[in-house]
Amino acid sequence: MFFDYYYIVLVIPALIIALIAQVRVKSTFQKYNGVLNRRQYTGAMVARQILDANGLSNIRLERVRGELSDHYDPRAGVIRLSDSTFDSTSVGAIGVAAHEVGHAIQYQVGYLPIKIRSAIIPVTQLGSSLAIPIAILGLIMGMDLLVQVGILLFCAVVVFQLITLPVEFNASRRAMETLSNDHILEGDELIGARRVLSAAAMTYVASLIVAVANLLRLLALRNRNRR
């Protein structure tokens, strides 16, 4: 019988950390979603202002449903802001909108980590969907080659999560510098926006922890299978 003891001792604790990070970012956003900026800027207004100031008037803004579903799509040249951000005048929404513009600026200036992340996305997508099933199948069937292929594919997932950290932290840094230097937010408003972005950044740290835990799990299972 195949018993995955390492899932219990490695992956489950990592998943708990990820869950805590998700709860924290939602609670922090909800807290600062009730703190309105004094100049009554909306998330969309701030995003448009920063884009135009950086020569990115070609980047479009679109509204998408949901909360914290904001993202930048470099292929379509569009920043999609969620319902909780687009028309909101909260300091949390302003921070999120400026963060997504930070990603657009990263592409504009050729920020190396985001170029690397974009380049490995196809391998990462393959690894995230097939790596663990391939490795587990190899373990069950006693085929070490399949296990090795699964582990190598999952290494790409870990690298992706690792390279995501400087990308996200840099986008937040760019956002906070712009919000401060352009006097879009001031004083306690900046503190609120920073706390929202810091909480969001921890979800990426948690994702890396989960990925590393899964990789260690696969390595431990492989070593056990060889004995």
Active site residues: 100
**C-alpha span between 57 and 52 (Å, rounded):** 5
Q: Which distant-in-sequence residues (6+ apart) come within 8 Å of 93 by Cβ?
A: 33, 42, 43, 84, 85, 86
Helix axes 112-141, 144-181, angle to 10 degrees: 150
Helix axes 112-141, 91-109, angle to 10 degrees: 90
Of 220, 227, 200, give the one whose Cα is nearest residue 23. 200
